[in-house]
């Protein structure tokens, strides 16, 4: 942190997430949760423990929520997007009255914390959830296609290419 020049603004806490959240006293403007890949309870607890410290208008970003198909295909990145974090989003963020401006970038879902949003904010949140669903669907299709024999792959590519022209 010293080499990066952030040692005067970053306060490391060498504790488990739940222990650190219990002793935290400062308001947070931006919270990044690198939640457990699969575990719903740990992901839910992280959001509950830490979001209470985020100010109204602050941003919460949650990692490992949806797959980034472009990174998987073109950059050989691992498959991200796990059930625990997605369930937390479904139950506590999408459609909630306490989050707005929800979006997905790569495998991170972000939202602005608020005291009360509008019906339109909740609708936009649900549309973002639908976008995440489509990324999961596209990943499943991709994983099926990469297992096809090479002649079938070539045929599918030709078929898709002709359909675009």
The CA–CA distances, whole Å, from 8 to 27, 71, 74 equal 17, 34, 38
pLDDT at 30: 96
pLDDT at 163 > cutoff 60: no
pLDDT tens track for 123-161: 999 999 999 988 888 888 877 888 888 888 788 777 766
pLDDT at 162 > cutoff 70: no
pLDDT tens track for 19-48: 999 999 999 999 999 876 678 999 999 999
- pTM for the whole thing? 0.80
| 34 Cα distance to chain centroid | 9
> By the 8 A CB rule, do 81 and 135 touch?
yes
């Amino acid at each position: 942190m010293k080499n990066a020049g952030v040692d005067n603004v970053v306060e490391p806490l060498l504790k488990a997430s739940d222990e650190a959240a219990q002793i935290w006293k400062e308001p947070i403007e931006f919270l990044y949760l690198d939640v457990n890949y699969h575990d719903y309870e740990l992901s839910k607890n992280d959001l509950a423990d830490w979001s209470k410290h985020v100010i109204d208008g602050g941003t919460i970003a949650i990692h490992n929520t949806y797959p980034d198909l472009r990174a998987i295909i073109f950059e050989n990145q691992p498959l991200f997007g796990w059930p625990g974090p997605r369930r937390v989003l479904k139950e506590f963020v999408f459609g909630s009255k306490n989050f707005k401006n929800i979006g997905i970038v790569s495998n991170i879902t972000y939202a602005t914390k608020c005291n009360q949003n509008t019906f339109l904010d909740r609708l936009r949140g649900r549309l973002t959830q639908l976008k995440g669903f489509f990324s999961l669907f596209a990943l499943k299709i991709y994983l099926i296609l990469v297992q096809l024999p090479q002649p079938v792959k070539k045929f599918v590519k030709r078929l898709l290419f002709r359909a675009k022209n």
